[in-house]
Structure 1
Amino acid sequence: MMSVSSELIPVEVCKGINGLDKVVLREDRGWSAEVYLFGAHVTSWKNKHGEEFFFSSRKATFEPPLRTHGGIRICFPQFEKHGSLQLHGFARRRFWTLDPNPPPLPETSHTKAFVDLILKPSGQDLNIWPHSFEFRLRVTLAPGGDLILTSRVRNVNTDGKPFSFSFAYHLYFPVIGEVQIEGLETDYLDELKNKESLTGDEESEVDKIYLSSPAKTAILDHSKRQIYAIRNDGPLDAGENGFIEEDT
């Protein structure tokens, strides 16, 4: 008689869409998350009932170097458009690797479902952005289902020359109808008005960059009676814009 183990696999490296490598994270209560090595792209985050929390475009192809709308995309070494670098940088269009020497978790941690990815510049990257770096990203599915992203960027220039950069976690939530955002009451720059500094709410199309966002931001989806809570550590900015996918 053959026995089948029902033991939970917290971290599984497997093939995803179009044969691309991905990592599936699972925690004991049934929550799960998926992250592709292409772009270090978090494409899925589901609760114990299998309900998906992220938006994913029906037009997504997952064929490098085409971009995809959905989940969490990593924008580095810039978010906005500056100089010869493309909008949102190049990290989201590169193949990351599994980090062979990830930093250890605290001894008191009960987390089992996490993965560390690393990105180093190629010759092509150095031609357009001449700085050597190591970008290490840890994606953690904590006990209870919280999804945690931790980024570390190290300067490995042999001449010790410093460099500046910006990065962003570009999140897509499937909200529709009546939506309320709490925590973004600070001044913002309006991308649709040449970065004009404004305060308050507008009813029209938006593309805002909020300066010094709070430690916690909440998105209230009244139609689904659901709340997305986003927490950050450090003096980060936040952005708000909309993506509407039309049926074809």
Structure 2
Amino acid sequence: MVKKSVYAIASLFLVTASPVFSSVIGITEYSSFISASEFGSTSLQHTGVGPGIDDYTGAGLDVVFTNSLGADNIGSVSWQITNSTGSVLNDVSFFGFLDAQIDEATNTFFNETASAAGFTLGSGSGDSQPDSFEIDEPGYLFGDIFTNLLNGSLDNTNALLGIEDDVSLALGFDVGTLLSDESILASFEISEIDNGGLYQYDAASDYGFYFLGVVSIIDDEIEIPNPSTLFLMSIGFLAIGGVKAGKHKRMGTKVC
């Protein structure tokens, strides 16, 4: 009886002394970009999470950003951008950008990898799926992903293939012509379940997440659902295609 009692106490101690730790996703920046012939050579940017940049409003675009991320940053966000310039916008492209880290406080932000192995590009104007992508260091050191976003053209490459570093992800969508009072409706999802998107992984934490988005053109009178519902609904919506290019450079530093 004594041995059993001691064993039971020891077992209880081992269980209570081994808490379960869940990984933490931290978001440095969650932004969208839009390019059009009428906006010149540099894309406009709107930051939903992060630095607070809004180039859209001053250019005649009405923007509504909805954040439906959970406390763990799993979930969806959406942008509704309405063309209120009074003119048609041509050669429009839209982009979503995510700079996120997994367990940065415990194992840094520059030890992660990413993959596009399960990701499939859309067919251009025939669907709402991404038409381009990029995985890269976010532009503080050597990556050109932020430059390409401002240029309005992603390079469809994984610059961090087999490399551990600071990971950022971007998706691009061909939109084409955006009539006056029409809206771009975009939803992006961070998911622990494979949604067919780009995959970011932290080996030290043995944890990763998927990043995917959908973009559609809608009439401004349509009532907008919440981002999670929108993400599912948008799979069936259609968009119209086009691409734009230019040049710019990001400035910034991160301390390792």
Larger RCO, structures 1/2 (Cα 8 Å, 6+ apart): 2
Higher gyration radius (CA) = 2
Q: TM-score, normalised by structure 1?
A: 0.26
Q: TM-score, normalised by structure 2?
A: 0.25
